[in-house]
């Protein structure tokens, strides 16, 4: 009976608020099969400091010693007016949580093609939101990503070990120089014993300058993590 009721309300919702493909605008689903097939899942592997393409996403020889993450991997490039950009924007700014199955499908498809990417790591940690921003949005999109990555890798997710103590300005609205200073001392570690000696995958939705993920990784490394790598849905 409960399933019948759920189906009824979904049918009513779809009739009143129809969903259109974010790629081709065809009615029916957030991303149709044809548009999903256009996503390149080969991955974005690049130096997290200078952003040049680098095998496995490792810090390049020119940037050694300048990064708190040893490598960064993204699924795709972020362009605001293209499919991946629309998928991220729909959840992050329109709060449409019913698009989450598509996020899950994207992550599952990527890890089907990159099965051993984080096989020697211990934990997954999402980049945190400040409590005021979480209260406004009602969720942390990085936590959704962390849970989906955990399902595909078997790694444990620690959602509340990394805390954002400063409600910083939105990074997307700042220049590169402002982004680099906006996050100084913005994070702290709760219960450091949970991360001592651990190899950690730090996840977020978009990697742009890398300032957010670097500051988070700094806190993790200074509190005992043995290695931190970055993972994101998109590379800005």
Question: CB 206: neighbour CB atoms within 10 A?
Answer: 20
- Segment 194-208 shows an average pLDDT of 98
Ordered by where they begin, the domains of the chain are 42-79+116-235 (3.40.50)
pLDDT in tens, 84-100: 999 999 999 999 999 99
pLDDT in tens, 159-183: 999 999 888 755 455 555 655 566 6
- Predicted confidence (pLDDT) at residue 226 exceeds the cutoff of 80: yes
Q: Name the residue with higher pLDDT: 125 or 8.
A: 125
- Segment 128-148 shows an average pLDDT of 94
Residue 228: its pLDDT value, please? 99
CA atoms of 29 and 45, how far apart (whole Å): 30
CA atoms of 111 and 124, how far apart (whole Å): 15
- Segment 152-165 shows an average pLDDT of 96
Residue 6: its pLDDT value, please? 44
Residue 170: its pLDDT value, please? 57
Q: Give every CB contact of residue 30 below 8 A, 6+ residues apart in sequence.
A: 19, 21, 22, 87, 90, 98, 99, 102
State the Cα torsion 7-10-16-20 to the nearest 10°.
Answer: -120
3-state secondary structure of 60: coil
């Amino acid at each position: 009976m409960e399933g019948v009721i759920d189906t009824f309300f979904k049918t009513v919702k779809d009739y009143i608020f129809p969903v259109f493909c974010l790629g081709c605008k065809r009615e029916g689903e957030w991303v149709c099969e044809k548009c999903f097939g256009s996503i390149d899942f080969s991955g974005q592997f690049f130096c997290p400091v200078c952003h040049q393409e680098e095998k496995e996403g490792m810090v390049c020889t020119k940037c050694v010693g300048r990064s708190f993450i040893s490598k960064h991997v993204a699924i795709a490039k972020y362009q605001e007016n293209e499919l991946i950009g629309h998928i991220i924007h729909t959840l992050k700014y329109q709060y449409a949580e019913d698009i989450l199955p598509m996020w899950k499908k994207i992550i599952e498809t990527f890890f089907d093609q990159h099965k051993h990417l984080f096989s020697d790591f211990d934990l997954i940690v999402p980049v945190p939101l400040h409590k005021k921003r979480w209260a406004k949005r009602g969720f942390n999109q990085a936590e959704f990503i962390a849970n989906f990555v955990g399902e595909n890798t078997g790694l444990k997710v620690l959602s509340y070990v990394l805390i954002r103590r400063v409600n910083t300005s939105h990074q997307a609205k700042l220049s590169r120089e402002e982004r680099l200073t906006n996050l100084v001392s913005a994070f702290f570690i709760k219960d450091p014993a949970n991360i001592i000696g651990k190899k950690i995958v730090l996840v977020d939705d978009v990697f742009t300058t890398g300032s957010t993920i670097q500051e988070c990784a700094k806190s993790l490394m200074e509190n005992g993590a043995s290695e931190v790598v970055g993972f994101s849905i998109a590379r800005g």
